[in-house]
Amino acid sequence: MRTATLGSLGEVSRLTLGGGGIGQIWGDTSHDEAVATLRAALDAGITLLDAAPTYRNCEAFIGETFGGRLPAGVKVTTKHQLGTPPAGEVAALIPAALDASLAAMRLQRVDLFFLHSNIHADGFAFAHGEAHKASFSTAWSTYVEAAAPAFERLKAQGRIGGWGITGIGVPTAVLSALDHTPRPDAIQVIANLMDSPGALKRYAERAQPREIAAAAKARGLGVMGIRAVQAGALTAAVDRDLSPNSPDRTDYDRAAPFRALCARWGDDPALVAHRYALSLPDIDTVVLGVKNREELAQCVAAEAMGALDPAQMADIDGLGSRAR
């Protein structure tokens, strides 16, 4: 499998095994299949595992599968959804979250520890979920005065190799974080042909994933692309029930021309969607949401096929599917 340099973390595989699928939050999968998929990912050359406590059983499965001894060259990330607690609590909450994740995975350290909250400017009002923003988003003042310093302390202590932010929040705030010192080591960014965060988008302004990815690369950060198939919207069929009003259902319906194009090419939409994400210029590694070995094998095949050619990219972009 091809590799890329993920900022200060160094060389990683172009595919990362995400924890949502094997953690049993993206459709049905058994314990045995999740563990088998973990092992198959490493056998295929994947060297980065992207975990989080919110991915249900993911961290426990990693701990069980490897018994606290990751194979040589394999790196792992985890996350903490801090929100906006009282400022005085942040210095204790972030290390405590790391302790819990390390215990679940039976590890002494992680290579990257992500702030898994949105980031918003002080006084910002979300278009959706405003009443609950303290649980899913971190205010700028909290980020600057407490969260970033807490991550830096963990890095100085050697308990994490670096830290990052999940760049799915308000684009102006995410871009501000890229220019703030201390700067994160990595960022996770939406990387799909629709530029769509789907149900993760709670703000009114336009999503700017490509601008964010480019800005991060220009500043030396590692960039991890997420949601390549946009929660199933870019697959042949969504594998779970969705409300008719769900943004992910809306994206699936809006992607009908993409599925038609893939049918003309004779290709599976999920395979093409992963190749598209891997073809984006500022993405170092694409995080997979697979839940079984069959889905994993298709993604590994997509990576082996290489980037889409310029004509194919132009055909996809010409569908007009990008979010506005």
* pLDDT tens digits, one per residue of 131-172: 999 999 999 999 999 999 999 999 999 999 999 999 999 999
Q: CB–CB of 285/4 below 8 Å?
A: yes
Which residues, at least 6 apart from 162, have a Cβ–Cβ distance to it below 8 Å?
Answer: 7, 8, 9, 111, 112, 113, 155, 184, 185, 186
Over range 164-193, report the average pLDDT: 97
| Structural domains of the chain in order of their starting residue, each with its CATH number | 3-317 (3.20.20.100)
What is the pLDDT, as a whole number, of residue 152? 98
pLDDT interval class at 87 (50, 70, 90): confident
Note the pTM of the prediction, 2 decimals: 0.96
More confident residue, 282 or 247: 282
pLDDT interval class at 243 (50, 70, 90): confident
Residues in the chain, how many? 324
Over range 77-83, report the average pLDDT: 98
Question: Dihedral through CA 82, CA 86, CA 90, CA 96, nearest 10?
Answer: -70
Q: How many CA atoms lie within 13 A of 155 on its CB side?
A: 20
At how many degrees (to 10) do helices 148-156 and 90-105 cross? 50
Count of other CB atoms within 10 angstroms of residue 275 = 23
Q: CB–CB of 14/1 below 8 Å?
A: yes
Question: Dihedral through CA 217, CA 221, CA 227, CA 229, nearest 10?
Answer: 40
Tokens of 104: 């679940």
Count of other CB atoms within 10 angstroms of residue 56 = 15
Tell me the residue type at 184. Answer: P
User: pLDDT tens-digit profile of 249-288?
Assistant: 999 999 999 999 999 999 999 999 999 999 999 999 999 9
Asked if pLDDT for residue 26 goes beyond 80, the answer is no
